[in-house]
Structure 1
């Protein structure tokens, strides 16, 4: 934090705010959608980030004021920032900005800034921090209160904090809008591809071509098996086991290699030369149409690309070796990848636990087949359009990379003082920090003292010489002893006042108070206590 702008000051988060963990939230108290206070969980934070730009104003669980008192949880005020403190969610580094005060469960931690610190400024700063880096555990990542309190923040004057926060709100909303708009483009391009295939296999794509060639739409329903020189599945069971795989040798085409119109090279599996010889009848050739037997969200079909490597197929990876005099293998692939094909096959396997077809079904499946000349023209036009789409996708991906760099870049500028011009008339941050420290010092609880009768000197109260009751007494232990004192006092009162009348030691007093609150004899309202009507 060297070379800070004029008026800025390095300070720890613990010096300018309160870090507080959530509380245990018993299962029997969960599930209510009504109540005064929301109880924020990690899932609520995640949803706020995904749907509401990080603004936390709703939750899946609510509690009444009475239940909140029973839970003795901290009420996080509006403007506090919540985040996960344990588990895999910690690594996601999501932050929720509270719009409606509420509690948090014990998987959540929160930061509440002191008066004079801009809440939105703190929220944006915390978005720059990788809390997972502070985790000490390698098994289950987690952070502690002290980890957050010790983080150093470059703090500008209060007025500059507000200006920076407002500018960040403005800019980052624009970035998020841009992300959403460009993020929709890949889906549009996917639809364009599918529309192209629909037009191709229905004859629409080559309608003008046929008119120029003075040809009619004379396509014939043809089974896949009738246009293949060979169609086969991969070896099953003991013929090819995982123990047969090696680090090099002939390639094995598995289901994960067969994508929608793409052969995925990411995962490579090999078998040795001896095993390859045993399975030589499953040898694949460049241009073979590969079809996945499993049909889920789309048809997975592609062609085997040219390669110097040898390949065989595994079970459920069908190979169609198309007779090039009868059909263009690429046209067959596109026909099988079309939406109409998907819908027909999906309907055929409807209700199956694992939707799949067998080789016999695929060989009997019929497609509309034009002349070989029109097939070639269709393939040419599809590949021309798909090449154009690929160029657009590359540009979109490059733009997405640049856009994703905008938010961290803007945040870096914001917290180095480079986002906005400074106003040197602003009160320096060091004075704000000093006021916060002074206010905290004034609010520290005072020690209990009494005046000595002999000398008039003020000395700390020594409870052992003044307290006559003990918690083990029969009228105290297991009895609503403190509630009876509250009845005599006649109204809500503070713990200090009740302590003075109870005549118990401090240790016994708080043990008895905790027990009577738990039993329902006393209602704890945070700053005051009240006798209940419980029997």
Structure 2
């Protein structure tokens, strides 16, 4: 049922009436267009990548466009109840997956970086959306990405071969209803945690900003004048599944503005290319591509050298310790002033992948006081952060607990433990067989009738050779 490229995410024994099926059996993957083509003057929704929320399954379809103005553009066509799956990094990892609903005129145009899944009737789009939003699904999908540096995508073939558990249709409805009910409570808690996270980030920023803003008389230098070596991008490499390969950071390692060494993977990175990418204590990493809010986020690595390498979406900054302390430079790069500068100079803010280049980072303005003054600022900021550390730890713990609760709920839903089974429900296999038979019948070409040529009139026999009756 699956090919070698697809990985079964869970092989628990299925409840009665359930069946495993691939997405290619359940859905049209990237259908050619709409079931019904709009007229040129019809208005439909436009849904760029930025209009799809991360990890919620929701989108904003409020932007309307005249179809005739966009029909010849290279945009993805989808319609009400389709499921959109962001295929490009880091949008897929961030959970940009949603059910299309509330579309103006029931149809929409979106980013070319969406895969579209259109159910054939055997799986609810809401059920499929919840399933794809699971973190472990996205982790496995990330391992099968392919493509050029900075443009890695989940291939269509992987999605087609992805196998999912399918309950009877009535049970799917019960699962979705219960998930929606319980996720509403979880999301309310997550909103409170998110507000606390933002508050902590703003508090940390205000501490750093206040320290740097006092340097009115410091000499302003571009970052490039403090470098020990040129900036360097990382490498794009596919994750391995056999426990071998080179340890490589993921983008998440620096997403929160602090280095988290838990976010790594083993990859097939070329050892020759890796020789120049090994981490050193004091390396600073800047995200060159991410969402508009996160592009330019940076963090400093403290630890042993040659522990891991870094991916292509990060740019490494190594400063000359005779001119600047890496701890000080890392603080400046996280100030609101520099982050605003990065956002203002990012390319592609209206698309799915805002980017900053090495030149933008090199020319970031740094107030550069003496090394002694830099050390005093770093010490003062660290002292202030130690005061708020207990609060930050409690926020981190609440965030982790929220994520674990969501994961446990989804796991229960897709193993049959969330709602009771009803023996009266039609088994999923019966429904899928009926849908399959209907499609096969519709695909068979009509039988052609054979038109026979008219019989030729027989020539009369010569005299004396007429056929005699038997």
TM-score range, shorter chain: 0.5 to 0.7
Q: Which of 102, 127, 131 pairs up with 1:125?
A: 131
Q: Which of 91, 94, 105 pairs up with 2:96?
A: 94
In structure 2, the partner of 1:112 is: 118
In structure 1, the partner of 2:169 is: 158
What's the CA shift string for 1:274-319, capped at 9, x where partnerless?
A: xxxxx999999xxxx99989995389xxxxxxxxxxxxxx992424
Superposed, which structure 2 residues align to 1:43-54 within 5 Å?
43=49, 46-50=50-54, 53-54=56-57
Give the distance between the partners of 2:161 and 2:20, measured in 1 at CA: 12
Give the distance between the partners of 2:52 and 2:30, measured in 1 at CA: 20
What's the CA shift string for 1:71-102, capped at 9, x where partnerless?
A: 79885331110123346544444212101122
In structure 2, the partner of 1:56 is: 59
Q: C-alpha displacement at 1:163, in angstroms?
A: 0.8
Give the distance between the partners of 1:332 and 1:67, measured in 2 at CA: 52
Bigger relative contact order, structure 1 or 2 (CA pairs below 8 A, ≥6 apart): 2
Give the distance between the partners of 2:77 and 2:145, measured in 1 at CA: 26
In structure 1, the partner of 2:44 is: 37
Give the distance between the partners of 2:93 and 2:111, measured in 1 at CA: 18
In structure 1, the partner of 2:264 is: none
Residues 48 and 237 (structure 1), Cα distance of their counterparts in 2 relative to 1, 3 Å cut: closer
Give the distance between the partners of 1:239 and 1:11, measured in 2 at CA: 57
Q: C-alpha displacement at 1:237, in angstroms?
A: 11
Report the 3-state secondary structure (helix = DSSP H, G, I; strand = E; otherwise coil) of the residue aligned with 2:53: helix
Q: C-alpha displacement at 1:181, in angstroms?
A: 0.7
Superposed, which structure 2 residues align to 1:234-313 within 5 Å?
242=229, 266=302, 296-297=335-336
Superposed, which structure 2 residues align to 1:324-335 within 5 Å?
none
1:316 aligns with 2:368: yes
In structure 2, the partner of 1:521 is: none
1:80 aligns with 2:52: no
Residues 454 and 318 (structure 1), Cα distance of their counterparts in 2 relative to 1, 3 Å cut: same
Give the distance between the partners of 2:158 and 2:399, measured in 1 at CA: 34
Q: C-alpha displacement at 1:11, in angstroms?
A: 1.3
Q: C-alpha displacement at 1:149, in angstroms?
A: 2.0
Deviates more, 1:135-144 or 1:76-85: 135-144
Report the 3-state secondary structure (helix = DSSP H, G, I; strand = E; otherwise coil) of the residue aligned with 2:336: coil
What's the CA shift string for 1:149-194, capped at 9, x where partnerless?
A: 2211111111110111112222223323222211222444567789
Check the 8 A contact 1:86/1:107 in 2, yes or no: yes
Name stretches of at least 5 consecutive residues in structure 2 with no aligned partner.
Answer: 1-10, 34-40, 209-214, 231-279, 286-298, 306-319, 339-365, 456-470
Give the distance between the partners of 1:75 and 1:413, measured in 2 at CA: 33
Report the 3-state secondary structure (helix = DSSP H, G, I; strand = E; otherwise coil) of the residue aligned with 1:153: strand
1:185 aligns with 2:196: yes
Scaled by the length of structure 2, what TM-score is found?
A: 0.53
Normalized per residue, which structure has more helix? 1
What's the CA shift string for 1:298-347, capped at 9, x where partnerless?
A: 89xxxxxxxxxxxxxx99242458xxxxxxx989986xx7xxxxxxxxxx
Give the distance between the partners of 1:91 and 1:454, measured in 2 at CA: 65
What's the CA shift string for 1:473-500, capped at 9, x where partnerless?
A: xxxxxxxxxxxxxxxxxxxxxxxxxxxx
The alignment's C-alpha RMSD in Å is 5.6
Residues 87 and 293 (structure 1), Cα distance of their counterparts in 2 relative to 1, 3 Å cut: closer
Give the distance between the partners of 2:428 and 2:389, measured in 1 at CA: 52
Residues 454 and 73 (structure 1), Cα distance of their counterparts in 2 relative to 1, 3 Å cut: farther
Give the distance between the partners of 2:302 and 2:70, measured in 1 at CA: 54
In structure 2, the partner of 1:12 is: 22
Give the distance between the partners of 1:237 and 1:315, measured in 2 at CA: 13
Superposed, which structure 2 residues align to 1:340-419 within 5 Å?
389-419=388-418
What's the CA shift string for 1:23-54, capped at 9, x where partnerless?
A: 8xxxxxxxxxx95222444x2xx43215x933
Check the 8 A contact 1:22/1:105 in 2, yes or no: no
Which of 1 and 2 has greater Rg?
1
What's the CA shift string for 1:4-35, capped at 9, x where partnerless?
A: 11111111122222111578xxxxxxxxxx95
Check the 8 A contact 1:21/1:106 in 2, yes or no: no
Check the 8 A contact 1:175/1:407 in 2, yes or no: yes
Check the 8 A contact 1:10/1:153 in 2, yes or no: yes
